[in-house]
Amino acid sequence: MNSFYIYENWRATDKCVIHFADCRYCNFGKGTERGTKGEENGRWHGKFNSYKETLEFSISLGRKKVAPCKVCNPNII
């Protein structure tokens, strides 16, 4: 069963990106761990058990945009 995470970025793009947990950019909510500044620019949310639950939580955060990751395509299940 797939699980999902959200990266909420409020600094650069004011958006949420939804990832499969094993996406190379997500790494189970740890990100790439390269060039990170803690929670200065954004933060990870998760683990979520369904895409629908993840999408609803993303929308509740109130960012300008919510999108699936273009690498792991979590909306295609």
Mean pLDDT of 38-66: 92
Q: Indicate the average pLDDT of the chain.
A: 89
Mean pLDDT of 13-40: 85
Enumerate the domain spans of the chain.
4-68
Check residue 1 and give its pLDDT. Answer: 66
Confidence of residue 35 (pLDDT cuts 50, 70, 90): low
Statement: residue 28 has pLDDT above 90: yes
Statement: residue 39 has pLDDT above 70: no
DSSP letters for 44-68: EEEEESSHHHHHHHHHHTT-SEEEE
Tell me how crowded residue 29 is: count the other CB atoms within 10 A of its CB. 17
